[in-house]
Amino acid sequence: MTNGTKNGTNTDTNIRVIVADDQKTVRQGFALLLDKHPGIEVVGEASGGLEAVEMVTELAPDIVLMDIRMPDLSGIEATRRITALLPDVRVLVLTTFDLDEYVYDALRAGASGFLLKDVSSDQLAEAVRTVAVGDAMLAPGVTRKLITEFTRIDSGPRAPEKVRLEELTERETEVLSLIAQGLSNGEIARHLCVAEQTVKTHVGRILVKLGLRDRTQAAVFAYEVGLVRPALR
C-alpha cells in the first residue's frame, strides 16, 4: 500500500483496490501481486466482511477483491451491503473453484464477476482493469457456466422480473440475450450487422431500464427470467 506517488505516477489516477480475506497470507499475497502493476493501488486490506464494509464506506475504492467464506460476515452479505451503499464500487469475488453456488449467490447480490484464487498476477491485474472500466463479464465461458448451472437448479422465472423485461424494445431484448450468451460488444455488433457504438448504446439503455449494474447482472437477469435457457447436458 502506498500514498502520494507510485511507480512515478499520481495515485489519483490509479485504480484503488481493497482486498478482503480472513487469511492474512492470502490478503498480503494479492496486495503484493497488484502493487507490482502500474496504475493499480491497494488502499486497504480487510480481515472480514464487516471490516470490508466499513473500509469501503471510509475509503470508497474502485474495486473490492472479496473472499466468500469469512467468519464474521460472509462475502455474499458484504457484497450486498457494499453494492447497496456505494453502487459505483465493483466487487470481484475470490473462490477456490468455479462451480460454487456461493459465487452464484454473490453475483446475484451484486458482484461484477469472480476470480479463482490461483489466478496469475497478470490475470489478476487485467481483471481489475476490466471491471474498473465497466466490462464486467470476466472469463465469459466460466462465468456463463456458473450462471447456467445454478439457474438450472434454481426456481423458475420470477413474475416481477418478467414485467421489467417488457420494458425493453425488441432489439434491446435481443442484445440482452446475446450478452447472456457471453458475447462481447464487438461480437454482438457483427452478429446483428450494426456498429459497435450502437450496441454500446443498447447495453447502456438495458442497464438503465432494468436497474442493473453491469453485464454480469444483465446475464444473471436474462437467465432468471427465462430469456435464455440453460444448456441441457
Which run of H or of E encompasses 59? helix 49-59
C-alpha span between 223 and 106 (Å, rounded): 16
Domain extents in the chain: 5-134, 150-224
Question: Burial letters for 198-208: b for 16+ Cβ neighbours within 10 Å, e otherwise?
Answer: ebeebbebbbe
The 10s digit of each residue's pLDDT in 136-186 is: 545 545 566 666 666 655 555 555 566 778 899 999 999 999 988 878 888
Assess whether pLDDT exceeds 90 at residue 133.
no
Higher pLDDT, 157 or 227: 227
Query: Residue 82 has what pLDDT?
Result: 95
Query: Residue 156 has what pLDDT?
Result: 53
Q: What percent of the chain has pLDDT over 90?
A: 44
- State whether CATH 3.40.50.2300 applies to domain 5-134: yes
Region 1-18: mean pLDDT is 57
Query: Residue 112 has what pLDDT?
Result: 85
Query: Residue 140 has what pLDDT?
Result: 47
Query: Residue 31 has what pLDDT?
Result: 93
Q: Tell me if 57 sits within 8 A of 85, measured CB to CB.
A: yes
What's the grid cell of residue 61?
475504492
What's the grid cell of residue 3?
500514498
Q: Whole-prediction pTM value?
A: 0.74
Q: Tell me if 64 sits within 8 A of 92, measured CB to CB.
A: yes
Secondary structure class of 143 (helix, strand, coil): helix
Residue in 141, 146, 155 with CA at minimum distance from that of residue 184: 141
The 10s digit of each residue's pLDDT in 110-121 is: 888 888 888 889
Residue 32 one-letter amino acid:
L
The 10s digit of each residue's pLDDT in 37-92 is: 999 999 999 999 999 999 999 999 999 999 988 888 999 999 999 999 998 899 99
Region 100-126: mean pLDDT is 83
What's the grid cell of residue 46?
480487510
pLDDT category, 195, cuts 50, 70, 90?
very high
Assess whether pLDDT exceeds 70 at residue 15.
yes
Assess whether pLDDT exceeds 90 at residue 202.
yes
- Chosen CATH of 150-224 out of 2.60.40.10, 1.10.10.10, 3.40.309.10, 3.10.129.10: 1.10.10.10
Query: Residue 136 has what pLDDT?
Result: 54
